[in-house]
Amino acid sequence: SGGVITETLAGIPVTVLFNADTVSAFAVSPVVDGKTLTLEAKTENGTRVFTDKETGTRWNLLGVGEEGPQKGKRLPPINSHLSQWYG
């Protein structure tokens, strides 16, 4: 499982792609070629994938287009860090 969270910070859209199976997350800008994409998480053949509603492109966790009209393009990464704290 996993998902997508999109927020606007200081007027800039930020999307976090999350895969619970690998406990991995990556923050990207959902803007490609001046167009803001709406990303969503889906499960295909038992694997978590991310697609955008506008073009149907399949993106990997690092924001690289793997299949569809945006194949080979990259969602610009946003400097971020995933950590766990124990008390």
Between CA 38 and CA 5 the distance in angstroms is 10
- Residue 86's pLDDT is 78
Helix (H, G, I), strand (E, B), or coil: what is residue 82? coil
What is the pLDDT, as a whole number, of residue 35?
A: 94
Give the number of C-alpha atoms closer than 13 A to the C-alpha of residue 27, restricted to the C-beta side. Answer: 12
What predicted TM-score, i.e. pTM, was given to this entire model? 0.84
CA distance 75 to 17: 11
Could you list the mean pLDDT of each consecutive 10-residue stretch along the chain, which spans 87 residues? 86 92 90 95 86 96 95 93 73
Encoding tokens for residue 87?
């008390």
